[in-house]
Each structure stands twice: as C-alpha cells, then as structure tokens.
Structure 1
Amino acid sequence: MTEPLVRIEAVSRRFGEIRALEQVSLEIRQGEFFALLGPSGCGKTTLLRILAGFEHPDSGSVTLDDADLLAVPPHRRPVNLMFQSYALFPHMNVAKNIAYGLEREHLPKAEIRERVDAVLATIGLTGLARRRPNQLSGGQRQRVALARAIVKRPRLLLLDEPLSALDKKVRAEMQLELKRLQHEVGITFVVVTHDQEEAMSLADRVAVLSEGRVRQIDAPVPLYERPADLFVADFIGANNLVTGMVGADGLQVPGVGVLPCPVPAAAVGRAATLAVRPERVRLGTEGGLAGVVRDVTFFGGTTRVAVDVTGLDRPLLATVAGATAVALGDKTRVDWSASDAMLLGND
C-alpha cells in the first residue's frame, strides 16, 4: 500500500458557536485522487483551507511527508489550490496565465517556456496559447486553471468544486479529463465536492463528512455497497430505507410484514433500518409486497419506478434496465433477495 503523503490527526475548528470540524482524522496517500464529500456546511471546505494554509485549526496536527505543514506559511507550502471560479487573469493570454506563478519565482525564461509548452500539450491546448480567457469555453478555462496549478509541480493539488461552473455534458467530459490528467502528472489531488456522482467517478477514495465529522472513508464501490451508517446510506446514491424491529427471519415492519435481509444474531429484538438499493429491487414478482406504481421516470439506459406500498411512509424505488412495461397506476409487486439488503443501526 502506498505510504500516506498527508496525515490529518484530531483536527478541530470552530467559528464562534459553529463547529466546522470536530476531531477529524484521515490520511491521504501519495499519488491518489482523494475526495472530501458532504452537504453544505459539513466542514469539507474548511479542511481544504487548512491544507492550503488559509485557515488554522484550533487543535490537532497536519503533516506532509511527516513534516509539520501547519508551521509552513501558505506561499511556501508545496500545495496549490484551484479555485471554483478558476480566477484567471482576463488581461493575460493562456500562456501568460500559466506562466505567472513560475515568473513570480524568477525561474529562467527558457525553463518557463519549456514547462508551459509541456503542460499545454498535456491539457490539449497548445493551439490556444495566445487566446485570452474570454475567448475560451468553460471547459477550456478549467483546463487553463488546472495547467496553472500543476505547472508549479506541487506535491498536493487542492480543487474546490472544480466542475460546478460547467454544464452537464462538459462536466462529464472534464471528469474523464481530470482523472486522465491526475494519472499522467502523478500529483496527489484532493477534491471538495457536494456532488456524489462526481466524487464516486473521480476519486480513488472518498471521505464522507457530516456536521464536521468523518462518517466513512472508503473506495467508491464499498462506500456505495456497504455504507457505515444511516447518513452515508441516505447520502450516497438512491436508497430504500425502511425502519422496523429485527426478528429472526428479517425486519418486522408493522402493517407491512417481514422484509428480507441478513439478520445478525446480536441485532434480533432491536430497532434498525433496512437499506436496499433500487437496482436490487425486482418488479412483478409473485411474492414480495403488493403496491401501485406512483411514478415512472425514463433515463435512457435505465428506468426508475416508484411504487406505493401500504404501510410505508414513502414509495419503494426500483431501477430496471432500459424501458419498462409498467405504467402509472398499475398494480405490481416488489421484492429483493435477503443478501441484497443490509441492516443499519438507528443510533
């Protein structure tokens, strides 16, 4: 396993009565794409600003290569931050924008030219070096901002909601571009985002934050398939969540029946929440729960069907491949295998 580049240990930060971070500990490995994911106000941007040097924690430690990062002023840290707005200089062309940081370090002109040309080739904008930002598309401006950040060859590149200003199609293209670029340049990337799909598609590992605390750190697949708690299960992707009492043969829900799920012996007799992903739910089975189709939403490759089941306070969701034969108002049945569900404690 790759050695950690950054270690964050028991970091806390408050702003008056607001708890932004509470005893946050995590490690970021050399060369990985790491995502800080969570809703607005969860502390992810505060943590990013601490890494950049724009905030200082009230307690805790942050090291980079086992050296105290908090003791290093922002302009001397081997860390670059790419802002959400890109912050390009409008009066400078692309090449000048990229070269700005190197010129401030008074590097030889030949070295600056060589590094700028190399990074322009990496981001695929060699032919646009003389254009100004207002002559570029949103995706191209994002590439220039990235190039300006990586041309200084930082150990750590921080990205604050880097794709939020792009439309959906360009954002999908730039997700692929960011991943390719990160692998090519070999710099450790840390991205802050509230977009689950963005985090899951970009990152090698994701830290999910809520109310200033880390709820789970994992790779995208186990994070999706084995959420650590109710918050993660509800925040990461769509999920069917049903509360009841654990019995020997499943989750007992008053007015509904017994729902299939694995039952750990220690959980019997306790209140719990069953979680089952929509793609694991089957429609039109002979067994299962009877319901009425409340909504059908076609997404092209898949269809999301919402089914009202008597006794449940919200519809069960099922995702099926392609189009579906069921329509609004149809009676149907929903079911899933016990092994496709999981139980989560209610504490």
Structure 2
Amino acid sequence: MTALDSGTATRTALRPLLQVSEVSRAYGDVTALDDVSLSIGENEFFALLGPSGCGKTTLLRSIAGFEQPDAGGILLGGEDLLAMPPHRRPVNLMFQSYALFPHMNVAKNVAYGLERERLPRAEIDRRVGEVLETVGLSAMGGRRPAQLSGGQRQRVALARAIVKRPKVLLLDEPLSALDRKVRGEMQLELKRLQHEVGITFVIVTHDQEEALSMADRIAVMAAGRLQQVADPVELYRHPRNLFVADFIGASTLVAGTAAAGTFTAGDLGPLPGTVPADLTGPAHLVLRPEWVRLTEPEHGLLRGTVRDVQFHGGGSTIAVAVAGLPTPLLVGVPGATATERGAAVGVSWNAGDAVVVQDELA
C-alpha cells in the first residue's frame, strides 16, 4: 500500500482488476497526466475526482482507448489494454451526453451493441429484457428518447452500456445534466445497479458530494497527479494535504506552522490538532463545521462574534468572526439554532478531531 492509498479492510478484500502503472500524457507544454499509478478492484465503485483540467477525463479516456499515454501501462485482469484497439477492450464508456439514437426506441438503443456483434435474436431479446427490468424501464421499451425524462434517458444509456457485460464500466460525468433532485435519486440508483450487475464502475466527476455518496474509494487529482486515494470517510477525516482538505467538504482552514508535533497559528498561538510526526514547516489546521462547538465566550479556545447564520433544513451553519483569522470559522449544529448575528461566542474543538495537513501538492 502506497502513501497515497489509505484504503480500509473493505479495499484489501477486493482482488485487483484494473492496474494503472506510471501513466503520463502531455499535450505540448501541458501535462495532463504525470506518473499516475493506481489499482482498482473487482466489483468496486471507484471515483476519479478533481477540478476541471486535473487529468481525470484523460485517464478515463486512456483506459477506454480514446487516448494513448506517452508512457506507462494499463492492465485489465493481467492483460495489456494498451495493446488492444478500443472496440476490443472489455470496457464500456458511458458519455456525459448519453448519445442515444433519437430515431430508435429504447429497446433498439439497448440492443444496438449486441446486434453489431451479430448475436442470435433470441439472446439479444432476452438480454435486453433482463437489463430493462434491472433499470426499471421494462414498460418503456417502445418509447423513443424524446418521450423520456432526463433520468429515464440516463437509465437507457446505462442499460445500453451494461447489456454487453463489460468488465469495467466507465462513466464520464453521467449525472451532470440532471437537476438536483433527480441527480440524488440517480446516485442511489447507480449504486444499487452496480451491486446488482457486479461490474466495476469507474466514474469521473468534479462533484465531491456525488463521489462521497457513491464511491467505495475515491482518487483525488490535481495538476495531473494523484493527491490521495482513500475511502470517503478516510478522505474526509484525514485529508493528505491542503488541496484535498479544501476540495473535499466544507471546512475552516487555519494557516500556521507545524513543528515537533505542535501546530502554531501566528498570533493565535498553539491550537489543538493531530499533527503528523513527520510534518514540519508551513501547514494548515483543518476544522470541519461539525467538529466545532459553540461555548460561552470565556470557555472557548477562541472568542469571536457571530457574523451569519444559515439554515439548511437538517442543520445550520454559524459563521464566527475570530480576530486573527482572515475568514469566519464555520460551526455546524443540528436543526435550527437560536444563535443570533452579533452574539459574542466562544468556539472549541477536540484535538483528536482537527487535523493538520501539509500545504504542498503530492
């Protein structure tokens, strides 16, 4: 297990299926992938997460065969994927646009790939019927894409991708065209479907909530390199560096210096947090809103003034202005809160919750 890979026991129980080794890809002076290595297990739901331009789509397209790496290797079940043309690879890529044929009905769209393989008609009909039932579209086989909702078209695209029974299904921003409510429903549907069909899913997304809610493990990318590979809980609670901490979830980031297991934040002095034994120099203390609690001013680690209160339905976020911090410190509380703007408060947290991270990218 590498320094980047902090998976749990669930991860170690999976047999490796897809192995990416030291893959690099450049476009002129722009490096899209820089020595990327990772291993994805059988039946794993794996997410490639990062901002636009981080290299995640280039990596996905390299696995699919639409990009040729400048260096490195990609193995699937021990076989060299890079030696195979795209149409021979046992992978399927579901595009962001779904790319359904508008003149064909649902059943014909799903059957298209099987018909290209010249399978017997009875087998095609059986497999199309099975997969339409799996995605909940058995009654819509005769409809055309224009007669379907966005969520239903997404299911058709999924059905067409999995009916060929690939070893790996690659999904490029598959939910980005859906509205928030439908996207949430389809996140649950994708996870259910992945368990039922027993196929390894690799999804590319820039939506952290989407990755956290669906993936067994997540690879966070920046500037063409892997920054951290871990399960969602590990990634959220123990980010490897400042980029991961800032990109994953809401947080207050306090700048300071780490030395000898202690974190010091300028004029605020030493603050409690878990400091890696080997971390020395510029660093940041990461405080998730739910780790911070309000106290009476005299009982807090820090004192401040409430600048804003936001109610989100299930909870509230309180922004506390603290002298010495350039941005308000965020405090999360369940449900509604009686705390008002302008109130003088204290803020505290447990040293075991807060984590100190290095500033540099991997």
Deviation at 1:283, TM superposition (A): 1.0
Letter in 2 for 1:45: T
Structure 1 segments, 4+ long, off by >6 Å, are none
Q: Which of 163, 171, 191 is matched with 1:179 structurally?
A: 191
Question: Is 1:249–1:258's contact at 8 Å kept on the other side of the alignment?
Answer: no
Number of the residue aligned with 2:308: 295
Residue 26 of structure 1: SS of its match in structure 2?
strand
Residue 97 of structure 1: SS of its match in structure 2?
helix
Q: Which of 338, 343, 354 is matched with 1:325 structurally?
A: 338
Are 2:137 and 1:125 aligned?
yes
Runs of at least 5 residues in structure 1 that lack an aligned partner in the other structure: none
Q: Deviations over 1:197-254 (max 9, x none)?
A: 1011111110010000001111111011111111111111012111123467953223
Number of the residue aligned with 2:285: 274
Are 2:289 and 1:284 aligned?
no
Number of the residue aligned with 1:243: 255
Deviation at 1:166, TM superposition (A): 0.4
Q: Deviations over 1:171-203 (max 9, x none)?
A: 000000000000000011000000001011111
Number of the residue aligned with 2:174: 162
Which has the higher mean CA deviation after the structures are superposed, 283-292 or 201-210?
A: 283-292
Number of the residue aligned with 1:70: 82
Number of corresponding residues: 346
Deviation at 1:264, TM superposition (A): 5.6
Are 2:102 and 1:79 aligned?
no
Say if 1:266 and 1:155 are closer, same or farther in 2 by CA, change over 3 A: closer
**Aligned residue runs from structure 1 range 219-238, under 5 A:** 219-238=231-250
Number of the residue aligned with 2:55: 43
**Aligned residue runs from structure 1 range 143-162, under 5 A:** 143-162=155-174
Question: What is the CA–CA distance in structure 2 between the aligned matches of 1:297 and 1:181, rounded to whole Å?
Answer: 36
Are 2:23 and 1:23 aligned?
no
Q: Which of 308, 311, 318 is matched with 2:324 structurally?
A: 311
Number of the residue aligned with 2:106: 94
Question: Is 1:255–1:310's contact at 8 Å kept on the other side of the alignment?
Answer: no
Question: Is 2:49–2:56's contact at 8 Å kept on the other side of the alignment?
Answer: yes
TM-score (norm 2): 0.93
Question: Is 1:88–1:97's contact at 8 Å kept on the other side of the alignment?
Answer: yes
Deviation at 1:12, TM superposition (A): 0.2
TM-score (norm 1): 0.97
**Aligned residue runs from structure 1 range 103-114, under 5 A:** 103-114=115-126
Say if 1:179 and 1:266 are closer, same or farther in 2 by CA, change over 3 A: closer
Say if 1:125 and 1:282 are closer, same or farther in 2 by CA, change over 3 A: same
Letter in 2 for 1:338: A
Instruction: State the identity as a percent.
Output: 63
